[in-house]
Chains A and B, each alone.
Chain A
Amino acid sequence: MSEQTFQLEAALKIHLLLVDDEPEFKEVMQKHLSRMGIRLSVSECCLDALEILAAHSIDVVIMDMNMPGMDGIQCLRKVKERWPLTEVIILTGHASVKSGIAGMESGAFDYCLKPIDVRELIEKVELAAQKALINQEDSAS
């Protein structure tokens, strides 16, 4: 049993989807994640994200709660309803206990506050990746 190895390996095995409409943030994350060798897709709104999820096998989603189009919680619920094995990390520019707990109750894996500490987010991505792979293994067995 090698937890740490598992986490690093897990992040490299997954397909990650970043849903955010802030160009600066997307750029920073794209740079970091691709440098780590993580396969990444990007979308700017929930509707696009749902299309990408339908077309590809996505393991982990990083999703901003405040985006044009659809309410973040609604979008999260849709994702978890259709792809329960996918883990979702939610981001928010405005911390609120209520929305945070609503996110967790809707099945989010974790919650991150903007401005993002990239190291912290990547640690969470690793843990979410590990969880997503376990979900897939469990559902296969």
Chain B
Amino acid sequence: MTLVDRFLTTWRRFLRRSPAPPRLGPEEGQRLFTARYRSFRELLTANANTLEAMAELEKALRDGRTLSMTFIRARCTLVTINVYKIVHNLNKIADGRYSELERIFARLQQEIETLLVGNLGRTEGELVLDLERIGRGQADLTGEKMANLGEADTIEGVRIPPGFALTAVATRLFFQRNQLYSQINHLIQQMDIGNLEDLHRKSAAIQELIRACPLPPELESLLFTHFDRLAAARPGCKVAVRSSGLGEDLGQASFAGLYHTELDVDRDTLVAAYKAVLASKYTPRAISYRLAKGFRHEETEMCVGVLVMIEATVSGVCYTRSIGNRGETLDLFCAPGAAQGIVDGTRSTGHLLLERTAPHRIVGRLEARDAMATWLTDAQATMLAETAMRLEHHFGAPQDIEWSIDPAGTLYLLQSRPITANALRPPATDQSSPEDERILLHGDVTGCDGAACGPVFVVRTAADMLRFPKRAVLVVRHPLPEWAPLLKRAAALVAETGSEAGHLATLSREFGLPSLLALPRATEVLTNGDTVTVDADNRAVYRGRIDELLRAPAPRPNPMDGSPVQQVLVSVLKLISPLNLTDPAAPDFHASRCRTLHDITRFCHEKAVVEMFDFGERYRFDQAAARRLQDTLPLEWWVIDLGEGFRPDYDARRREVAIADIACTPMQALWAGMHAVAWAGPPAAGLRTMVSFLFQSALRDSLDPSRTSALREKNYFLISQKYCNLSMRLGYHYAMIEAMLGDRPGDRFITFRFKGGAAGEDQRLRRIDLLTEVLEHFGYRIDRVGDALTARVERESEQLVVDRLKVLGYLTIHTRQLDLVLAETGAQRFFRDRFIQEIGDMLNHE
């Protein structure tokens, strides 16, 4: 603090204090004080709720669970509303002297809201665009798929089907005109995402909602104009209506086969097909995929492509770099007719390996050998490889390509997108598969490598999906994208048909789920409930558990890492959770220095406690003023009587009060616990801890025990005859004890709330662990989120509540600064045993 600052502070203080405090009559004073006390209680409740919701958000980020925007939005809303209440109530208590906080809060609230709402993209622009006018620059308007297709059209030698795209602006117009966003959000917020049945029900409701709404007339008219233009050049032509979602551009997320494609659509069915594709954004598989991968529904707006149907003699998929990155080859999958059967995994396919470099020699034919020669000539295969490599070169990364060849032999590109990163992971080092009679099935195609063990569960219908147990081996006939919601729950996937090019195989690689495909009769040979080991590396399924195969499972990728939803959480937490104002005695402990909601919470709590006890100074109102409580411990206690808390013979003119003057039964019980066993002062730390502690103290004087433990810290009791509220400094936050000892069971309770501490996170958590263990041992019910702890006792007998209060009294004294020594090995157990022993003795002794 500079000299000027000091001068200003003193001067301001002088100005503030210069007018004589208003004198209040006893009744007016009591009324004013009661009103403040109510605000104080509301502030304390809001404070506890804020810290709890904050801890939940921090924990969600730390433990890598599936994050949904619904969860983040709900918790952020709770935190914000409670901080609003805190600021509001502090200003009520302090006669509006902290109005500066309202401005800081409003700014933070605005910033949080902006992050949560996100970039909803363009609401202005063209509704429909011809493919030839689309390039990669329009990806935020047409979705990645159509943008890539339009872009590919500019590459020499690449042909795409004629068509057009309905943009994100069109989708938004349709949704907004029909008020679909709010109705859908409403259903999604109330969805129980762990419950597949609920997921199916709400998904059906949302899709029905979309299909039932009319298209805005201007959009419908444009749709028909563009269709008629296509049909004019090709009378009687039919179109494929395909999804092209926004945000599908991350290499980590393929969105493979999650959305709907409607084939053979004519003019009559065009509008229905368009709406069906829009609605497919909300199929159970799409909702659960976005959730598992951390995508926001709002930012994955659906755009739609309308492409003239190609009469295909042969179609397929090409990976410009072989799955598993096996050498310098590319994969070519093909089957007669349209491409749909390959990506659905329902058809048997041919598989060629070609060299990536010209002249693209064929180096392997892996399946359906006999038929393949008649489907695709070697010349066509080479032409495909050439085109594919041109696409890879243009887009700058290995591509996953869908194609068709028409009866005239013309090659059409239907889709080109980057291969998901996991697919290019090198295969696991070969393990020799035990050759024994335990092999139930020996397979064909590895979708994703790895090995896993679990009970078999065959899924044939949607009803089977609802019964699918966690960590079971998912066995299906065809690897259809419909089964995608089960991939997060399953231990492994086995399918009778399919290839690496199928959508479900692609998804299994994204989730790191071992998968085996093209294992005929798998649904007959494998029996529900039997434990099997799926060894995808060696393409075998074994009876029972084979430990040597499971020994080193590859860690599954955390699909949340780097996801848009995780990024939102990280960004909002920066505005919510860091605590910068830690030391109330520091000169920068000031409203203007609050940079996060945690700062505001901490600041307001401190000031509210102080304001409550300054009441007697600000108003000349002797009866309600705080009394200093005499104590042998080096702690400073202040007491305010809310009514009948002092004995009738207490002389109200005194500034001090002795414990014998206190009539409040819960306070007496707490006090007895605090003084039953002598406190040895700050615990003696081992040399290592002490050195680090002294070093930290030198940096941060708030850690200096001579300052934090002694007279500088005030602790406050608010009491009546049967009620006691203690705000006690313990680390960075007040510990809060509220207790009531009434005559009826419902009027007997204890609540203890505490968060954080002064030491590093590890030690802080250890102190919370220690408190939890001891409090649980003595019958407290514990709610704990991260380093926020709430302990409760309710509706117990009077004697029991008194005893529990003594336990709490003991702990508040004896765990002070304990976090500083809990780093020592065995310290936690040592203190736990000692505390339980001493508390037990204390209770028995009486």
Contact A101 B80 (CB under 8 A): yes
* B229 CB → nearest A CB, Å: 40
Residues of A within 8 A of B300 (CB): none
Q: Is the CB of A97 within 8 A of B116?
A: yes
A5 / chain B contacts, CB cutoff of 8 Å: 742, 744, 746-747
CA distance A65 to B301 in the complex (A): 26
B109 interface residue, CB < 8 Å from A?
A: yes
**What is the distance, in angstroms, from B193's C-beta to the closest C-beta of chain A?**
12
Within 8 Å by CB of A96, from B73, B88, B644, lies B73
Interface residues in A1-24 by Cβ distance below 8 A to B read 1-5, 8
Judge if A66 is at the interface, Cβ distance under 8 Å.
yes
- Pairwise interchain contact A100-B81, C-beta atoms closer than 8 A: yes
Contact bitstring B81-92, A, C-beta under 8 A = 1, else 0: 100110010000
A99 to chain B minimum Cβ distance, whole angstroms, is 8
Q: Is the interface of A mostly helix, strand, loop or mixed?
A: mixed
- Count how many pairs of residues, one from A and one from B, have CB atoms less than 8 Å apart in the complex: 82
Judging by beta carbons under 8 Å apart, are B722 and A93 in contact? no
Beyond A5-B744, A104-B84, whether A97 also contacts B112 by CB under 8 A is: yes
A56 at the interface (CB under 8 A from B): no
- A115 on the B face (CB < 8 A): yes
Report the minimal beta-carbon distance from B140 to chain A, rounded to whole angstroms.
Answer: 24
Which among B81, B643, B721 is the interface contact of A104 at CB below 8 angstroms? B81
Residue of A5, A94, A115, A134 contacting most chain B CB atoms (<10 Å): A94
How far, in angstroms, from A114 to B74 measured CA to CA in the complex? 10
Contact B746 A8 (CB under 8 A): yes
In the complex the two chains form, is A104's CB within 8 Å of B746's CB?
no
Name the B residues within 8 Å of A111 (CB-CB): 77, 81
User: Contact between B38 and A93 (Cβ–Cβ < 8 Å)?
Assistant: no
- Report the nearest B residue to A134, measured CB to CB: B38
Contact B740 A93 (CB under 8 A): no
CA distance A141 to B368 in the complex (A): 92
State in angstroms the CA–CA spacing of A100 and B77 once bound together.
Answer: 7
Interface residue total, chain B, C-beta cutoff 8 A: 38
Task: Verify if B720 is at the interface (C-beta below 8 Å from A).
Answer: yes
Contact among A1, A96, A114 with B643 in the assembled complex (CB-CB below 8 Å): A1
Interface pick from B184-192, B332-340, B752-760, B784-792? B184-192
Report the bound CA distance from A138 to B817 in whole Å: 45
* Chain A residue contacts of B740, Cβ below 8 A: 2-4
Interface size class of A (residues with CB under 8 A): 20 to 34
Contact in complex: B77, A97 (CB < 8 Å): yes
Interchain nearest-CB distance for B191 vs A (Å):
9
In contact, A113 and B746 (Cβ under 8 angstroms): no
> For window 235-265 of chain B, which residues contact chain A by CB distance below 8 Å?
none
Measured between beta carbons, the chain A residues less than 8 angstroms from B511 are: none
Contacts of A4 in B (CB 8 A): 740, 742, 746-747, 749
- Asked whether B642 is an interface residue with its Cβ less than 8 Å from the other chain, the reply is yes
Residues of B69-122 at the interface with A, using a CB-CB cut-off of 8 Å, are 70, 73-74, 76-78, 80-81, 84-85, 88, 109, 112-113, 116-117
B221 at the interface (CB under 8 A from A): no
> Within the assembled complex, what's the spacing in Å between the Cα atoms of A66 and B190?
14
- Tell me whether B723 and A1 are in contact (CB under 8 A): yes
Residues of A within 8 A of B190 (CB): 93, 114-115
CB distance from A107 to the nearest CB of B (A): 11
Is the C-beta of A98 less than 8 angstroms from some C-beta in chain B?
yes
> What are 24 A-B interface contacts by the 8 Å CB criterion?
A1-B723, A2-B722, A2-B747, A3-B740, A4-B740, A4-B742, A4-B747, A5-B742, A5-B744, A93-B187, A93-B189, A94-B186, A95-B76, A96-B116, A97-B73, A100-B81, A101-B84, A104-B84, A104-B88, A113-B77, A113-B78, A114-B190, A115-B189, A134-B38
Nearest 4 pairs between A and B by C-beta? A93-B186, A1-B720, A95-B77, A94-B185
